[in-house]
Amino acid sequence: MRVLCTADWHVGSYNNVNAQRENDFLAAIDQIVDSAAIQKPDLILHAGDVFRTNRPSGHHQREAAQRFKSLSDIAPTVLIPGNHDITASGSAIDDWGELAPDNLHVCIQPHVVRLPFCNVVAIPWLTSRYLAEFGKSKTREKQELGNAIEMLLQAIVAGLDDKPKILLAHATALDGKMGEYRPTVLGDDLLWPGIWFEPFDFVCLGHLHKAQVVYTSPYAIYPGSPERVTFGERDEPKCFSVMKLGARPIFHELKPRPMVQLEGDVDEVTSQLKDVPDEAMLKIRVHLEPEERFEVAGNRWFDLRVEKIRPQPERESRVSGIELQGMSFSELLNLYFTLNKFKPERIALLVKRAEEMALEREERNAIQDD
């Protein structure tokens, strides 16, 4: 059985300077569809984040739906919403389940897609409403969230037959490398440990844009995003993956638009400009002296951004002459509020409350350690 994996299409992404970037994302997706038509996999998986926002325009929904229709004409296709697709009341693809062709399985909540040759356990981006029955309350403690997800997976796996088991999820795996692109949301993500993947024969994940193998037993992968979203991804290859169960996944590189970043002084940047292809998105970070000027003559690139970096004058510190080393937490707070001209009675109240909160935190940590 051959499985094609893709994720994180982010249809509707483009920068504010050049709206034609939208076509880059669609062109990258078309490369995946064309390759699927040639390779004819037995199963196609999409691990979430179809759209850039959870309220895509009608145009973007049509463009994405057409490509899913083409994929489902080739092989059974399983799709889950990612965090970018989720709304307060559902997801951007909720209606697709009613309108989709028979070969397209749209799983807007945890679900098992039972196919003749395998079981696909589809886990979309999980919110509290999906996990309430597994012990998840309104709090957002990671330990509690992890326990609920583990219980959910165990309950699902217990009901599966002996056919190959595939996990499709939008999540952050413990060993996943985020690459240069790191959305701020990842800072609070629960990290899925490898032990959760052990009951499965293969795991396809979405959420991290860097194409990678996360675990090898069983194989758990991120196929990555098909197009570069930020300049932080400029050196990362963009891919989709095809694999046979039990064999090492093969990542097929796509041809995204080049992103080039130049940095240096005026002479260094100017000498490198001639080698940047016209179709590139170009970002220049040029370091200038206070009175020095820099202009790009004859902009020939698809997109150009220039950041001029000048030395900042030294600012006199407001704590000059004050020895901070050795000061206690309360003394530092007192100094901060005093320098910012808080009233003395207000300072006393704030410092007291901060000390109480610090003590409460120490007591909670001591209880957890016990």
Which tens digit of pLDDT belongs to each residue from 186-199? 456 788 999 999 99
360: left (phi over 0), alpha (psi -120 to 50) or beta: alpha
Homologous superfamily assigned to 2-253: Metallo-dependent phosphatases (3.60.21.10)
| Residue 133 predicted with pLDDT over 60 | no
Beta-carbon contacts of residue 35 (< 8 Å; ≥ 6 apart) = 4, 240, 252
- The count of other CB atoms within 10 Å of the CB of residue 96 is 19
- What average pLDDT score do residues 84-111 get? 83
**Residue boundaries of the structural domains of the chain:** 2-253, 259-309, 329-369
Beta-carbon contacts of residue 317 (< 8 Å; ≥ 6 apart) = none
- What average pLDDT score do residues 71-98 get? 86
Question: b or e along 130-156 (b: 16 or more beta carbons within 10 Å of the residue's beta carbon)?
Answer: bbeebebeeeeeeebbbebbeebbeeb
- What average pLDDT score do residues 269-288 get? 94
pTM of this prediction? 0.78
| Residue 179 predicted with pLDDT over 70 | no
Give the DSSP per-residue string, 49-104. Answer: --BSSSS--HHHHHHHHHHHHHHHHHS-EEE---TTTB-SSSBTTTTHHHHS-TTE
Give the confidence band of 183 by pLDDT, cuts at 50, 70, 90: very low
Give the confidence band of 13 by pLDDT, cuts at 50, 70, 90: confident
| Residue 136 predicted with pLDDT over 80 | no
pLDDT in tens, 227-252: 988 888 899 999 999 999 889 999 99
How far is the CA of 18 from the CAs of 255, 261, 299, 304, 344, in angstroms?
19, 17, 14, 9, 53
Q: What is the mean pLDDT of the chain?
A: 85
Give the tokens for residue 77: 């296709």
- What average pLDDT score do residues 8-36 get? 84
* pLDDT at res. 285: 95
* pLDDT at res. 148: 84
* pLDDT at res. 134: 54
pLDDT in tens, 217-230: 899 999 999 998 88
- Asked whether the beta carbons of 173 and 202 are under 8 A apart, the reply is no
- What average pLDDT score do residues 73-86 get? 93
Nearest by Cα to 214 from 180, 179, 244: 179
Name which residue leads in pLDDT, 16 or 169.
169
Provide the percentage of residues in the chain whose pLDDT is more than 70.
84
Least confident range from 212-216, 270-274, 349-353: namely 349-353
pLDDT in tens, 347-369: 888 888 888 787 777 666 655 44
* pLDDT at res. 175: 73
- What average pLDDT score do residues 88-114 get? 84
How far is the CA of 130 from the CAs of 136, 141, 178, in angstroms?
9, 16, 26
| Residue 74 predicted with pLDDT over 60 | yes
Give the confidence band of 88 by pLDDT, cuts at 50, 70, 90: low
| Residue 185 predicted with pLDDT over 70 | no
- What average pLDDT score do residues 196-211 get? 95
